[in-house]
């Protein structure tokens, strides 16, 4: 398994899908560089601490049945990884789809750019950034 697949699998399983904050924090410290620059949807954050807060905001509205998984194989070239993802609940039709472009330094993400497109109706009570707007 190449570095791109290893990073993408670990990122989704141990950070995005992890419900336990302590285990998620440990994975963030292992996979995310202290000086990460992370752009997702409407916001740029800098630093591992800000990244952790952003991830906590993004995963908070996820129900226990929601899971994010890879759509296809990650593509890796030198120190960059691109992967597509989808969020699903019980239905095989994804609630959201997106992609991520990541620059790695010794296996840790230093730059991370994520996109998302909602594919199902959205709860209007969610903050605008979480609705894809």
Domains in the chain with CATH codes: 3-131 (3.10.450.50)
Report how far residue 43's alpha carbon sits from residue 26's, in angstroms, rounded to the nearest whole number. Answer: 23
Mean pLDDT of 47-68: 93
Query: pLDDT band at residue 30, thresholds of 50, 70 and 90?
Result: very high
Q: Quick one: which H or E segment has residue 124?
A: none
Q: Hey, what are 46's tokens?
A: 């800098």
- Position 74 pLDDT exceeds 50: yes
Q: Higher confidence at residue 124 or residue 4?
A: 4
CA 17 to chain centre: 9
Read off φ and ψ for residue 78, nearest 5 degrees: 50, -115
- Position 4 pLDDT exceeds 90: no
Nearest to 97 by CA among 69, 123, 60, 61: 69
């Amino acid at each position: 398994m190449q570095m791109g697949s290893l990073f993408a699998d670990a990122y989704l399983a141990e950070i995005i899908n992890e419900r336990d904050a302590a285990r998620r924090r440990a994975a963030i410290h292992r996979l995310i560089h202290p000086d990460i620059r992370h752009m997702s949807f409407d916001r740029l954050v800098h630093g591992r601490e800000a990244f952790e807060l952003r991830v906590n905001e993004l995963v908070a509205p996820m129900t226990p049945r929601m899971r994010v998984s890879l759509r296809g194989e990650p593509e890796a070239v030198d120190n960059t990884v691109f992967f597509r993802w989808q969020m699903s609940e019980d239905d095989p039709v994804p609630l959201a789809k997106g992609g991520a472009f990541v620059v790695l330094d010794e296996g840790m993400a230093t730059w991370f750019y994520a996109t998302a497109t909602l594919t199902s109706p959205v709860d209007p009570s969610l903050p605008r950034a979480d609705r894809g707007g």
